[in-house]
Structure 1
């Protein structure tokens, strides 16, 4: 059965269209309501990708995205499409076309993006699961800002069929939940079996040095519950150098992916989005090639470090969500500092799970666990066993 409503029932929470698409009533996810970021196709619906001109250009989807089909087959009910940052290009969560969702956990602060609507709907209790995507942090950062669990899976482990692309070698589906048990339940439906993890936790000092002192203090009780912890330095070149390489690779991919649409359709873009996309045009093939060499080296180091089942531990974000009323310069500073740690897992294509473990001045902050490739399900099992939140 499927019921479609033309108007949003919760625009302040990023629900841009209510739906009632019911899956297998006997599946393992029966009873779970799921909302879907508006870059994943839902058959018969327009995927706007956060920009009305994109939706008008491509029209209604002919079939469900892979992840939507999988969730329905597993028994979930899809209850709506949710706001994304325009073309998924931003971590703040703002959208001038469809509105910026409320952060239910800290209403005076931004929800984070680009999966802003899905995170707001789950944090508000209006959905059990929110489907998002993560390129540079678009699941992990909103989850941290809104006090949720959020998973960025191993790159390529889950299909992106039916998803609007930003930077394909970084893009991956992901999801939000309010608790570890639901996170694991969804993982068991979507993820393959995983090798076990060892009881070895390694913190990355540079990632903690990048965070505000009050964030580190808020994470300390959770760190203590993890027990004795070693240290690792998988980014000897420094986070800023690695970010520059990542920007070159991802920026080049973004222009090659979206440039044709931008030049042909000439969509109406928010000035911030327009500026960021214009900047990607400047990344040369040579710079991207250098970045890919660095990426292969980083990936090899990370794989070797985690081959025995160790888990890396970092602050998900260096700070809580920025205030809604902050200046653009504040957002850009937060974005740079956030991407410094977001690339540690993403540049190597590794799974990262953020766990809500504390608050700073009433605003949530998350702790991230990073595992070796393909150990996603084991990471979710570990989080359920730890009960850090």
Structure 2
């Protein structure tokens, strides 16, 4: 491909003569941007914790975070500068607004506050970019409509729009499971999954089918085929998966409900990373008919929303007969001891606030089964079932999945019948222990072991976060219990969900309880 040449002939207008060197610095920035010269771009922004860079996906504060974002985005779309408007403040400060002409079409705008220093010359201290909004963000959506599927009835969900994870059957549409080759060989569904039909029957419409990680075998939200859906709460961060598409659609306001699945945390993790409400329902409470499985012993249907009120409304509609909720709450110090101090500290401070506000009683402390051993048991059964569900297709289609997911399937293939049998026996014991704990108390834990990692994090960093998070999330899966991720905690690096785990069948009461904990909500 020919090198892109920056055209510097755009007219420049202003309220006063431009200070010396300003427009030259502007064009130096533009050349560096079009060449994706990250070191040059870093040098053209003020190296200060208060430096700002914003766009439609959010605000980055501080030179370090802005630099990390640049390293991970893979370059900016090619564009022409059509015109530049300057507001000179004084000899060392000026505001430049440029009208952008993206080669892909449309119009955009870039606003920059430039500052001059004796040491570094002209640098940007604050910037905001407004790009033309794509009709469809293919990182979030596989297909959308207006609507894609209309409501069959009027009801309490009138006006709500649903992003359906690309695992559910919808009559007339294919299931792609985040894998292009699987989508290409799929046939349109003949029936609509009951979970989708239930929302349609309550008055909601399906906005579209949203992305998932390959075969939903991940909690990161990264898809090598379609790109990583944006995290609407933390610019430059991964969205969390495998319900990444529905979560990003809801968090960015493109849908009001994300219909999703949770096997090992695939609703709770993206909810935590993007500041959403999310419910993993009691195992088997919502029909899994018409759902492409990963590990049926743990697969559950659930939903993501921006408000607790909508989460509660959906839950009362689809699960109207709740089991009562215990009066006591508990925390697990052994789990908190495995977390980074800032995460554990944020969680403990949040619990203290809830107690001080009189919203929860003082928690008791419980000892959960060994987290590493529990996760090993969970993973063995999950892997055996994942290979049983997809192994034949994976074998017949080498190279169709890649990276970490391919490695998980390789490990799954090696699980022996004896290993699976032993793990299932241990799983039964663990389930009994956990249900006994949940019988008379609600367990409170962080919904994830960290805030959302940046997309520039190494595979080893992502895997370490994944393992630490699964050591928390696997307990609800093993118990077959409902768990709510409530966006009630936050750190300087982004939101953190507070997870509540209740007895099986207590979904509605658990959601109602969670939504009353509002003083912590951001």
TM-score of the superposition, structure 2-length normalised? Answer: 0.71
CA positional deviation for 1:99: 1.4
Aligned to 2:503: 372
Aligned to 1:350: 481
Show the 5 A alignment for 1:250-289: 250-266=382-398, 268-289=400-421
Does structure 1 conserve the Cα–Cα contact (< 8 Å) formed by 2:153 and 2:200?
no
Does structure 1 conserve the Cα–Cα contact (< 8 Å) formed by 2:179 and 2:225?
yes
Distance in 2 (CA, whole Å) between partners of 1:212 and 1:89 is 25
Distance in 1 (CA, whole Å) between partners of 2:403 and 2:325 is 45
Distance in 2 (CA, whole Å) between partners of 1:210 and 1:340 is 9
SS for the counterpart of 1:99 is coil
Equivalent of 1:292 in 399, 416, 424: 424
Distance in 2 (CA, whole Å) between partners of 1:312 and 1:55 is 39
**Does the alignment pair 1:168 with 2:289?**
no
Structure 1 residues without counterparts, runs of 5 or longer: 1-7
Does structure 1 conserve the Cα–Cα contact (< 8 Å) formed by 2:451 and 2:493?
no
Aligned to 2:49: none
CA positional deviation for 1:360: 2.1
Distance in 2 (CA, whole Å) between partners of 1:273 and 1:302 is 29
Equivalent of 1:17 in 134, 143, 152: 143
Distance in 1 (CA, whole Å) between partners of 2:314 and 2:415 is 38
Aligned to 2:281: 153
CA positional deviation for 1:384: 2.0
**Does the alignment pair 1:302 with 2:434?**
yes
Aligned to 1:241: 373
Aligned to 1:4: none
TM-score of the superposition, structure 1-length normalised? Answer: 0.94
Does structure 1 conserve the Cα–Cα contact (< 8 Å) formed by 2:139 and 2:227?
no
Distance in 1 (CA, whole Å) between partners of 2:226 and 2:500 is 33
SS for the counterpart of 2:409 is helix
Q: How many residues align?
A: 379
CA positional deviation for 1:13: 5.5
Aligned to 1:311: 442
Of the two, which has the highest radius of gyration?
A: 2
Cα deviation 1:240-299 (Å, max 9, x = unaligned): 111111111111111111111112344522232211111111111111111111111111
Does structure 2 conserve the Cα–Cα contact (< 8 Å) formed by 1:9 and 1:18?
no
CA positional deviation for 1:187: 0.5
Aligned to 1:132: 260
CA positional deviation for 1:221: 4.1
Using a 3 Å threshold, how does the CA distance of structure 1 residues 286 and 381 change in structure 2: closer, same or farther? Answer: same
Equivalent of 2:237 in 95, 98, 109: 109
Does structure 2 conserve the Cα–Cα contact (< 8 Å) formed by 1:202 and 1:231?
yes
Does structure 2 conserve the Cα–Cα contact (< 8 Å) formed by 1:314 and 1:369?
yes
Q: Which has a greater percent of helix? A: 1
SS for the counterpart of 2:188 is coil
Equivalent of 2:201 in 73, 83, 88: 73
CA positional deviation for 1:351: 0.6
CA-based RMSD: 1.5
Distance in 1 (CA, whole Å) between partners of 2:337 and 2:169 is 40
Aligned to 2:156: 28
**Does the alignment pair 1:98 with 2:226?**
yes
CA positional deviation for 1:39: 0.8
Distance in 2 (CA, whole Å) between partners of 1:71 and 1:285 is 39
SS for the counterpart of 1:18 is strand
Distance in 2 (CA, whole Å) between partners of 1:333 and 1:380 is 30
CA positional deviation for 1:234: 2.8
Does structure 1 conserve the Cα–Cα contact (< 8 Å) formed by 2:139 and 2:226?
no
Aligned to 1:326: 457
Greater Cα shift, 256-265 or 157-166? 256-265
Does structure 1 conserve the Cα–Cα contact (< 8 Å) formed by 2:222 and 2:241?
yes
Does structure 2 conserve the Cα–Cα contact (< 8 Å) formed by 1:72 and 1:78?
yes
**Does the alignment pair 1:55 with 2:196?**
no
SS for the counterpart of 2:516 is helix
Does structure 2 conserve the Cα–Cα contact (< 8 Å) formed by 1:29 and 1:74?
yes
Using a 3 Å threshold, how does the CA distance of structure 1 residues 15 and 9 change in structure 2: closer, same or farther? Answer: farther
- Larger relative CO (CA 8 A, sep 6+): 1 or 2? 1
Structure 2 residues without counterparts, runs of 5 or longer: 1-133, 355-359
CA positional deviation for 1:359: 2.0
Aligned to 1:3: none
SS for the counterpart of 1:258 is helix
